[in-house]
Amino acid sequence: TREVHLVAWPKGEPRLDDFTIAERDLPDPGHGELLVRNIALSVDPYMRGKMTGVRTYTDPYELNAPMVGAAVGVVHASGDEDFPKGTVVLHQEGWREHALLTTAEVRPVNVTDSVPASAYLGVLGMPGITAYVGLVHKARMVQGDTVFVSGAAGAVGGIVGQLARLRGAERVIGSAGSAEKVAYVTGELGFDAAFNYKDGPVAEQLAAAAPNGIDVYFDNVGGEHLEAAIGVANDFARFAICGAISGYNATEAPSGPRNMGYLVTKRLGLQGFIVSDEMHLAGEFYRDVAPLVAAGKVEFRETVVDGLDNAPEAFISMLRGGNTGKMVVRLDGG
Protein backbone atom coordinates (compact mmCIF):
# COMPACT_ATOMS: atom_id res chain seq x y z
CA THR A 1 0.00 0.00 0.00
CA ARG A 2 1.11 3.60 -0.52
CA GLU A 3 1.35 6.64 1.73
CA VAL A 4 2.53 10.25 1.49
CA HIS A 5 5.58 11.24 3.54
CA LEU A 6 6.96 14.69 4.21
CA VAL A 7 10.66 14.60 3.38
CA ALA A 8 11.65 18.25 4.05
CA TRP A 9 10.27 21.18 6.05
CA PRO A 10 8.90 23.56 3.40
CA LYS A 11 10.35 27.07 3.33
CA GLY A 12 7.65 29.53 2.28
CA GLU A 13 5.15 27.88 -0.05
CA PRO A 14 5.41 24.05 0.07
CA ARG A 15 6.79 22.40 -3.08
CA LEU A 16 5.98 19.02 -4.56
CA ASP A 17 9.49 17.75 -3.78
CA ASP A 18 8.92 18.35 -0.05
CA PHE A 19 6.73 15.21 -0.30
CA THR A 20 7.23 11.67 -1.54
CA ILE A 21 5.06 8.60 -2.04
CA ALA A 22 6.33 5.59 -0.06
CA GLU A 23 5.35 1.93 -0.29
CA ARG A 24 4.59 -0.25 2.69
CA ASP A 25 3.32 -3.82 3.19
CA LEU A 26 -0.35 -4.21 3.89
CA PRO A 27 -0.73 -5.19 7.57
CA ASP A 28 -3.33 -7.70 8.82
CA PRO A 29 -5.65 -6.47 11.58
CA GLY A 30 -5.29 -8.18 14.97
CA HIS A 31 -8.05 -8.60 17.56
CA GLY A 32 -9.82 -5.25 18.06
CA GLU A 33 -8.14 -3.74 15.01
CA LEU A 34 -9.45 -2.71 11.60
CA LEU A 35 -7.79 -2.46 8.23
CA VAL A 36 -9.45 0.51 6.55
CA ARG A 37 -9.25 1.38 2.86
CA ASN A 38 -9.41 5.16 2.62
CA ILE A 39 -11.79 6.67 0.07
CA ALA A 40 -11.46 10.41 0.88
CA LEU A 41 -8.58 12.34 2.43
CA SER A 42 -8.62 15.84 3.88
CA VAL A 43 -6.01 18.50 3.23
CA ASP A 44 -6.35 21.39 5.70
CA PRO A 45 -4.58 24.69 6.39
CA TYR A 46 -3.50 23.60 9.91
CA MET A 47 -1.27 20.99 8.27
CA ARG A 48 1.02 23.80 7.07
CA GLY A 49 1.67 24.59 10.74
CA LYS A 50 2.72 20.98 11.34
CA MET A 51 5.29 21.27 8.53
CA THR A 52 7.58 23.68 10.37
CA GLY A 53 9.41 21.27 12.66
CA VAL A 54 8.31 23.41 15.63
CA ARG A 55 5.69 22.44 18.24
CA THR A 56 2.75 24.88 18.43
CA TYR A 57 -0.55 23.64 19.80
CA THR A 58 0.14 20.28 18.14
CA ASP A 59 3.25 18.23 17.44
CA PRO A 60 4.95 18.79 14.09
CA TYR A 61 4.93 16.09 11.42
CA GLU A 62 7.92 13.79 11.48
CA LEU A 63 10.01 13.61 8.34
CA ASN A 64 9.96 10.34 6.36
CA ALA A 65 6.84 9.08 8.14
CA PRO A 66 3.17 9.06 7.13
CA MET A 67 1.34 12.28 8.00
CA VAL A 68 -1.83 12.32 10.07
CA GLY A 69 -4.98 14.01 8.84
CA ALA A 70 -8.69 13.35 8.66
CA ALA A 71 -9.87 10.60 6.32
CA VAL A 72 -12.96 8.55 5.59
CA GLY A 73 -12.53 4.91 4.68
CA VAL A 74 -14.27 1.57 4.39
CA VAL A 75 -13.46 -1.34 6.70
CA HIS A 76 -11.64 -3.86 4.47
CA ALA A 77 -10.72 -6.48 7.08
CA SER A 78 -12.07 -6.50 10.61
CA GLY A 79 -10.89 -7.83 13.95
CA ASP A 80 -14.08 -6.66 15.70
CA GLU A 81 -17.56 -7.96 14.90
CA ASP A 82 -19.11 -4.56 15.76
CA PHE A 83 -17.27 -3.06 12.74
CA PRO A 84 -18.04 -5.49 9.88
CA LYS A 85 -16.40 -5.26 6.49
CA GLY A 86 -17.95 -2.36 4.56
CA THR A 87 -18.51 -0.08 7.57
CA VAL A 88 -17.66 3.53 6.66
CA VAL A 89 -15.53 5.25 9.31
CA LEU A 90 -13.94 8.63 10.01
CA HIS A 91 -10.42 8.64 11.49
CA GLN A 92 -7.14 10.56 11.57
CA GLU A 93 -4.82 8.36 9.49
CA GLY A 94 -5.15 10.21 6.21
CA TRP A 95 -2.52 10.82 3.51
CA ARG A 96 -2.41 7.03 2.79
CA GLU A 97 -4.39 4.38 0.94
CA HIS A 98 -4.87 2.00 3.88
CA ALA A 99 -4.76 2.51 7.65
CA LEU A 100 -4.50 0.00 10.50
CA LEU A 101 -6.58 1.37 13.37
CA THR A 102 -8.00 0.31 16.71
CA THR A 103 -11.77 0.58 17.03
CA ALA A 104 -11.25 3.41 19.54
CA GLU A 105 -9.58 5.46 16.79
CA VAL A 106 -12.53 5.39 14.38
CA ARG A 107 -16.06 6.75 14.33
CA PRO A 108 -18.68 5.17 12.04
CA VAL A 109 -20.44 7.72 9.83
CA ASN A 110 -23.77 7.65 8.08
CA VAL A 111 -23.48 8.01 4.30
CA THR A 112 -26.71 8.76 2.45
CA ASP A 113 -27.75 9.97 -1.01
CA SER A 114 -27.50 13.60 0.14
CA VAL A 115 -24.52 13.23 2.50
CA PRO A 116 -21.42 11.70 0.85
CA ALA A 117 -18.56 10.23 2.90
CA SER A 118 -16.41 13.28 2.21
CA ALA A 119 -18.95 15.56 3.98
CA TYR A 120 -17.46 14.28 7.25
CA LEU A 121 -14.21 15.98 6.26
CA GLY A 122 -16.02 19.30 5.74
CA VAL A 123 -19.51 20.49 6.56
CA LEU A 124 -20.19 17.67 9.06
CA GLY A 125 -16.61 17.38 10.23
CA MET A 126 -13.89 19.51 11.79
CA PRO A 127 -14.45 22.56 9.54
CA GLY A 128 -18.18 22.52 10.25
CA ILE A 129 -17.69 22.33 14.01
CA THR A 130 -15.14 25.13 13.75
CA ALA A 131 -17.63 27.34 11.95
CA TYR A 132 -20.37 26.62 14.46
CA VAL A 133 -18.28 27.03 17.62
CA GLY A 134 -16.59 30.19 16.39
CA LEU A 135 -19.80 31.90 15.30
CA VAL A 136 -22.15 30.79 18.06
CA HIS A 137 -19.91 30.36 21.12
CA LYS A 138 -16.88 32.59 20.50
CA ALA A 139 -18.29 35.55 18.55
CA ARG A 140 -21.65 35.00 20.30
CA MET A 141 -23.53 36.10 17.20
CA VAL A 142 -27.13 37.17 17.83
CA GLN A 143 -30.06 38.00 15.58
CA GLY A 144 -29.65 41.41 13.95
CA ASP A 145 -25.84 41.34 13.86
CA THR A 146 -23.92 42.34 10.78
CA VAL A 147 -21.39 39.55 10.25
CA PHE A 148 -18.20 39.67 8.19
CA VAL A 149 -16.35 36.44 7.33
CA SER A 150 -13.09 36.15 5.40
CA GLY A 151 -12.17 33.00 3.47
CA ALA A 152 -15.88 33.00 2.66
CA ALA A 153 -15.74 30.49 -0.21
CA GLY A 154 -13.71 27.98 1.80
CA ALA A 155 -14.71 25.02 3.96
CA VAL A 156 -15.13 26.93 7.23
CA GLY A 157 -16.08 30.37 5.88
CA GLY A 158 -18.88 29.13 3.63
CA ILE A 159 -20.58 27.45 6.58
CA VAL A 160 -20.10 30.46 8.86
CA GLY A 161 -21.92 32.71 6.40
CA GLN A 162 -24.81 30.29 5.87
CA LEU A 163 -25.26 29.70 9.61
CA ALA A 164 -25.18 33.46 10.25
CA ARG A 165 -27.94 33.93 7.69
CA LEU A 166 -30.05 31.08 9.11
CA ARG A 167 -29.60 32.48 12.64
CA GLY A 168 -31.01 35.87 11.68
CA ALA A 169 -28.05 38.06 10.82
CA GLU A 170 -29.02 41.51 9.56
CA ARG A 171 -26.32 41.38 6.90
CA VAL A 172 -23.67 38.79 5.99
CA ILE A 173 -20.55 40.00 4.17
CA GLY A 174 -17.80 37.79 2.78
CA SER A 175 -14.41 38.16 1.15
CA ALA A 176 -12.70 35.70 -1.17
CA GLY A 177 -9.92 35.60 -3.73
CA SER A 178 -11.67 35.52 -7.13
CA ALA A 179 -14.71 36.85 -8.98
CA GLU A 180 -16.06 33.28 -9.29
CA LYS A 181 -15.85 32.78 -5.53
CA VAL A 182 -17.57 36.12 -4.90
CA ALA A 183 -20.40 35.05 -7.24
CA TYR A 184 -20.62 31.67 -5.46
CA VAL A 185 -20.98 33.13 -1.96
CA THR A 186 -23.54 35.77 -2.95
CA GLY A 187 -25.36 33.48 -5.42
CA GLU A 188 -25.38 29.99 -3.95
CA LEU A 189 -24.58 30.62 -0.29
CA GLY A 190 -26.88 33.62 0.14
CA PHE A 191 -24.37 36.17 1.47
CA ASP A 192 -25.75 39.72 1.18
CA ALA A 193 -22.49 41.16 -0.11
CA ALA A 194 -18.99 39.99 -0.96
CA PHE A 195 -15.80 41.31 -2.50
CA ASN A 196 -12.60 39.98 -4.06
CA TYR A 197 -9.80 41.04 -1.70
CA LYS A 198 -7.37 41.01 -4.64
CA ASP A 199 -9.32 43.83 -6.35
CA GLY A 200 -8.11 46.60 -4.01
CA PRO A 201 -7.48 47.57 -0.40
CA VAL A 202 -9.57 45.41 1.98
CA ALA A 203 -10.36 48.42 4.20
CA GLU A 204 -11.98 50.31 1.32
CA GLN A 205 -13.92 47.34 -0.03
CA LEU A 206 -15.13 46.33 3.42
CA ALA A 207 -16.22 49.88 4.31
CA ALA A 208 -18.26 49.99 1.09
CA ALA A 209 -19.88 46.60 1.82
CA ALA A 210 -20.59 47.45 5.49
CA PRO A 211 -22.01 51.00 5.54
CA ASN A 212 -23.35 50.41 9.06
CA GLY A 213 -20.21 48.71 10.38
CA ILE A 214 -19.90 45.12 11.61
CA ASP A 215 -20.87 43.44 14.89
CA VAL A 216 -19.11 40.12 14.31
CA TYR A 217 -15.94 39.28 12.43
CA PHE A 218 -15.02 35.63 11.81
CA ASP A 219 -11.34 35.81 10.89
CA ASN A 220 -9.84 33.06 8.74
CA VAL A 221 -7.15 35.23 7.19
CA GLY A 222 -5.48 37.72 9.60
CA GLY A 223 -3.21 40.58 8.49
CA GLU A 224 -4.83 43.23 6.30
CA HIS A 225 -8.28 41.64 6.74
CA LEU A 226 -8.10 41.82 10.53
CA GLU A 227 -6.89 45.41 10.42
CA ALA A 228 -9.78 46.34 8.09
CA ALA A 229 -12.31 44.60 10.32
CA ILE A 230 -11.05 46.45 13.42
CA GLY A 231 -11.43 49.65 11.39
CA VAL A 232 -15.11 49.17 10.52
CA ALA A 233 -16.11 47.43 13.78
CA ASN A 234 -18.97 48.87 15.79
CA ASP A 235 -18.47 49.38 19.52
CA PHE A 236 -18.57 46.05 21.42
CA ALA A 237 -18.14 43.99 18.24
CA ARG A 238 -17.01 40.39 18.84
CA PHE A 239 -14.26 38.76 16.78
CA ALA A 240 -13.71 35.00 16.50
CA ILE A 241 -10.04 34.58 15.66
CA CYS A 242 -10.05 31.26 13.83
CA GLY A 243 -7.05 31.38 11.53
CA ALA A 244 -4.56 33.66 9.80
CA ILE A 245 -3.91 31.89 6.52
CA SER A 246 -2.44 35.01 4.86
CA GLY A 247 0.67 34.38 6.96
CA TYR A 248 1.02 30.59 6.86
CA ASN A 249 3.63 30.55 4.09
CA ALA A 250 5.30 33.78 5.24
CA THR A 251 9.00 33.70 6.06
CA GLU A 252 8.87 36.95 8.09
CA ALA A 253 6.53 38.18 10.82
CA PRO A 254 3.54 40.20 9.53
CA SER A 255 3.47 43.99 9.97
CA GLY A 256 -0.19 44.48 10.94
CA PRO A 257 -2.86 45.05 12.23
CA ARG A 258 -1.52 48.54 12.99
CA ASN A 259 -4.75 49.76 14.59
CA MET A 260 -4.80 47.66 17.75
CA GLY A 261 -5.54 50.81 19.80
CA TYR A 262 -9.15 50.54 18.61
CA LEU A 263 -9.50 47.28 20.53
CA VAL A 264 -9.72 49.47 23.60
CA THR A 265 -11.71 52.45 22.38
CA LYS A 266 -14.29 50.27 20.61
CA ARG A 267 -14.26 47.73 23.50
CA LEU A 268 -13.92 44.86 21.02
CA GLY A 269 -14.11 41.24 22.04
CA LEU A 270 -11.46 39.16 20.24
CA GLN A 271 -11.63 35.43 20.93
CA GLY A 272 -9.10 32.99 19.59
CA PHE A 273 -10.04 29.29 19.73
CA ILE A 274 -8.83 25.83 18.74
CA VAL A 275 -11.60 23.48 17.71
CA SER A 276 -10.00 20.44 19.38
CA ASP A 277 -10.67 22.08 22.79
CA GLU A 278 -14.34 22.42 21.92
CA MET A 279 -15.37 18.85 21.18
CA HIS A 280 -17.86 18.91 24.07
CA LEU A 281 -19.93 21.03 21.64
CA ALA A 282 -19.86 18.40 18.87
CA GLY A 283 -23.20 16.89 19.93
CA GLU A 284 -24.89 20.29 19.90
CA PHE A 285 -23.33 21.00 16.49
CA TYR A 286 -24.66 17.77 14.95
CA ARG A 287 -28.11 18.33 16.45
CA ASP A 288 -28.28 21.85 15.00
CA VAL A 289 -26.48 21.50 11.69
CA ALA A 290 -26.93 17.91 10.42
CA PRO A 291 -30.70 18.45 9.79
CA LEU A 292 -29.90 21.68 7.91
CA VAL A 293 -27.47 19.79 5.66
CA ALA A 294 -29.90 16.91 5.11
CA ALA A 295 -32.66 19.39 4.21
CA GLY A 296 -30.42 21.23 1.73
CA LYS A 297 -30.51 24.44 3.77
CA VAL A 298 -26.74 24.42 4.17
CA GLU A 299 -24.79 24.01 0.91
CA PHE A 300 -21.43 22.32 0.80
CA ARG A 301 -19.42 22.48 -2.36
CA GLU A 302 -16.26 20.39 -2.65
CA THR A 303 -13.22 20.69 -4.88
CA VAL A 304 -12.12 17.12 -5.57
CA VAL A 305 -8.65 15.97 -6.61
CA ASP A 306 -8.23 12.31 -7.58
CA GLY A 307 -5.49 9.96 -6.41
CA LEU A 308 -2.98 9.71 -3.58
CA ASP A 309 -0.19 10.90 -5.92
CA ASN A 310 -1.99 14.20 -6.26
CA ALA A 311 -2.53 14.77 -2.50
CA PRO A 312 0.53 17.08 -2.11
CA GLU A 313 -0.62 19.08 -5.15
CA ALA A 314 -4.13 19.33 -3.63
CA PHE A 315 -2.66 20.67 -0.37
CA ILE A 316 -0.49 23.25 -2.13
CA SER A 317 -3.38 24.29 -4.37
CA MET A 318 -5.68 24.73 -1.34
CA LEU A 319 -3.19 27.09 0.30
CA ARG A 320 -3.20 29.12 -2.96
CA GLY A 321 -6.99 29.26 -3.16
CA GLY A 322 -7.49 26.50 -5.75
CA ASN A 323 -10.51 25.23 -3.80
CA THR A 324 -14.08 26.45 -3.56
CA GLY A 325 -15.63 24.81 -0.53
CA LYS A 326 -13.75 21.89 1.02
CA MET A 327 -10.67 20.53 -0.75
CA VAL A 328 -10.90 16.73 -0.73
CA VAL A 329 -8.64 14.02 -2.16
CA ARG A 330 -10.67 11.12 -3.55
CA LEU A 331 -9.22 7.61 -3.69
CA ASP A 332 -10.68 4.56 -5.44
CA GLY A 333 -14.25 3.90 -4.39
CA GLY A 334 -14.77 7.41 -2.97
**Closest separation in Å from C-beta 203 to ligand NDP:** 14
Give the nearer residue to ligand NDP in terms of CB position, either 100 or 216.
Answer: 216
CB neighbours (10 Å) of residue 248? 18
Q: State the minimum distance, in angstroms, from the CB of residue 318 to ligand NDP.
A: 5
In the complex with ligand NDP, the residue whose CB is nearer, 79 or 322, is: 322
CB of 314 to ligand NDP, least distance (A): 11
Q: Answer yes or no: are the C-beta atoms of 279 and 246 closer than 8 Å.
A: no
Residue 171: strand pairing partners: 146
Nearer to ligand NDP, 19 or 300 (CB): 300
The site for ligand NDP (CB under 6 A) is made up of: 44-46, 127, 130, 151, 153-157, 176-178, 181, 220-221, 242-243, 245-246, 273-275, 318-319, 321, 323, 326
Residue 6 or 319 with smaller CB distance to ligand NDP: 319
Neighbour count for residue 99 (Cβ, 10 Å)? 26
Pick 42 or 103: Cβ nearer ligand NDP: 42
Q: Is 55 helix (H, G, I), strand (E, B) or coil?
A: coil
Q: In angstroms, how far is the first alpha carbon of the chain from the final one?
A: 17
Q: How far is the CB of 55 from ligand NDP (least distance, A)?
A: 16
State in angstroms the smallest separation of the CB of 182 from ligand NDP.
Answer: 9
The whole-angstrom separation of Cα 44 and Cα 316 is: 10
Q: Which amino acid is at 305?
A: V
Chain-centre distance for alpha carbon 266: 30
CA distance 164 to 130: 14
Nearer to ligand NDP, 80 or 284 (CB): 284
- Strand (E) or helix (H) holding 126: helix 126-132
For residue 169, the minimal CB distance to ligand NDP (Å) is: 19
When the beta carbons of 44 and 145 are compared against ligand NDP, the nearer one is 44
Q: How far is the CB of 256 from ligand NDP (least distance, A)?
A: 13
Beta strands in the chain (DSSP E): 2-6, 19-23, 33-42, 71-78, 88-91, 98-102, 107-108, 146-149, 171-176, 193-196, 214-219, 233-241, 269-272, 302-306, 326-330
* Side chain identity, residue 98: H
